[in-house]
Structure 1
């Protein structure tokens, strides 16, 4: 197939481009050329908001839109595209209001989520713009993505704590749950959508079982070959000051995804792959001052 991937320079979009190239497809990536390009793909250097005729005379068997964050992003790309087959938009679980019963189901209401704010409402607008113009497009709603090429300071932060032999500052007793999805599994699912063209067009995707913060940190330390010592934080301190995730627990119902793709990469394997990549690409992590905050506030983090 001839496939267009938007972005292609960091984490989800870069992994996606590399995945489909490794499967033998002809992959084009659309970006502004400001960052190193992935291997074995053809870059199309342009801004999706001012495409002109850049894509007008091209045909893509599939468009995988990993980098659309709002309606304008979707509309500008559609305005500039020529002919295409399947369109897949990577949206977000942030489209579900936190007030809905959990686990969130695809046929549930979407709306404002006070935790995610504008990010969530912009993703809703992106979905609505796409569905109004391409009714047979596919929309994926993942939770937290994980795996190799993740340049966010999440697993990387815990890996660094483990490497430095730090005790870990845990929000409360660490029982809050997080739901993840391996980026490689997301690519495999996109591949299934293109091949099978199921009648359902909106899918929650993710591991069917969430893990507690404490379980996740233990797995990260284990990946590095260490065992964490925990300090539980009960003070009224914003969680994101010392921990990489919001104080927000939610769960997605992924039963529809599992019907099509029942076998997933174990989370432990995902973390191993993530650490292997991190060990060779430390300089690419978008770091947050979590350690600095911890070091400056150890007396109050109790």
Structure 2
């Protein structure tokens, strides 16, 4: 039985990873703030703020793990704290990074792992903080002789997603509301949470050494309008898509994605894990979860107000 520490683990991506580790029969310890108590198969839960160095040292004192899966790490400080809090060596570390680390203005599409990192104008500090977190982990793991796997997904989707993404579209479809999209109709890429979880447990089951970096996600991207059509298909509802041409409105003012082509080269990881969940299969599971939990998803009032203003300017009632 593999003994695994998951930083995060009870929310969206982390919850699905936790479920997959339990399915594999592994012993799981979650470390998080406890804002969403774990409900499910037995685990050990450590309630701690990972930004509190003293509390982290106390929470992890004397504990040993065969692997660490860091879902919640956002910046260099958080990485340095957790690395300094573990007394025992960890054979394998997995870090969930992001496609936001790529300097898209200097990258060829689809973006390979070897493309340059740098400030992504669409993600700002989130991306640069993830770059710093990666660098801190690479430094620490190299010094300790720990195998490190860095995963860079694009947009995640699936059950437990409280973020306004697919739920935003499901809401509009079921309420018979028009859906505004940027006129660019750019291409984006997705990774189903169940696929990411399977990638992680597969990689942890293999012999590992040194540093490995993988883009993870579906083999192909989809345009904004194609993605909405997939959502409409699983709902069984026709979508009313309206492109927005007025440059005064930024995509994030009315749409749940940033307006640029975000498509990764995922050929490296697909040499190890061949299959993806079919897009509409994953979306159907996400839609079922949405129908059962939509009361917990909070929609941003400003975004709703912007939609009404744009529709009014377009003469749409």
Please indicate the TM-score interval, normalised by the length of the shorter structure.
Answer: over 0.9
- 8 Å Cα contact 1:18-1:38 kept in structure 2: no
Match of 2:6 in 1: 5
Aligned partners of 2:117, 2:125: CA distance in 1, in Å? 13
Match of 2:186 among 168, 176, 181: 176
Secondary structure at the aligned position of 1:184 is classed as: helix
Q: CA deviation at 1:23?
A: 2.3
Aligned partners of 1:230, 1:283: CA distance in 2, in Å? 25
Query: Structure 1: which 4+ aligned runs deviate by more than 4 Å?
Result: none
Match of 2:223 in 1: 212
- 1:140 paired with 2:151, answer yes
Match of 2:312 in 1: 299
Aligned partners of 1:141, 1:61: CA distance in 2, in Å? 22
1:183-225 CA deviation, whole Å, 9 max, x = no partner? 1111111111111135661111111100111111011112111
The 5-angstrom pairing of residues 281-296 of structure 1 reads: 281-289=293-301, 290-296=303-309
- 8 Å Cα contact 1:148-1:273 kept in structure 2: yes
- 8 Å Cα contact 2:101-2:117 kept in structure 1: yes
The runs of 5 or more residues in structure 2 that have no matched partner are none
Q: With structure 2 as the length reference, what TM-score do the two structures score? A: 0.90
Match of 2:276 among 252, 264, 271: 264
Q: Which one is further off, 82-91 or 289-298?
A: 289-298
Q: CA deviation at 1:301?
A: 4.2
Secondary structure at the aligned position of 1:255 is classed as: coil
Match of 2:172 in 1: 161
Match of 1:86 in 2: 92
The 5-angstrom pairing of residues 243-258 of structure 1 reads: 243-258=255-270
Count residues in correspondence: 301
- 1:126 paired with 2:128, answer no
Cα 1:118–1:106, aligned 2, differ >3 Å: closer, same or farther? same
1:74-105 CA deviation, whole Å, 9 max, x = no partner? 11111111322211000011111011222211
Q: CA deviation at 1:286?
A: 4.0
Cα 1:38–1:8, aligned 2, differ >3 Å: closer, same or farther? farther
Match of 1:105 in 2: 112
Secondary structure at the aligned position of 1:137 is classed as: strand
Q: CA deviation at 1:167?
A: 2.2
Q: CA deviation at 1:38?
A: 3.7
Q: With structure 1 as the length reference, what TM-score do the two structures score? A: 0.95
Q: Which one is further off, 89-98 or 19-28?
A: 19-28
- 1:63 paired with 2:75, answer no
Q: CA deviation at 1:285?
A: 2.0
Q: Which one is further off, 214-223 or 230-239?
A: 230-239
Cα 1:20–1:107, aligned 2, differ >3 Å: closer, same or farther? same
Q: CA deviation at 1:284?
A: 2.8
- 1:185 paired with 2:190, answer no
- 8 Å Cα contact 2:150-2:213 kept in structure 1: yes
Q: Which one is further off, 150-159 or 224-233?
A: 224-233
- 8 Å Cα contact 1:8-1:14 kept in structure 2: yes
1:1-52 CA deviation, whole Å, 9 max, x = no partner? 1111111231111221122112221111101223222422221112223312
- 1:235 paired with 2:220, answer no
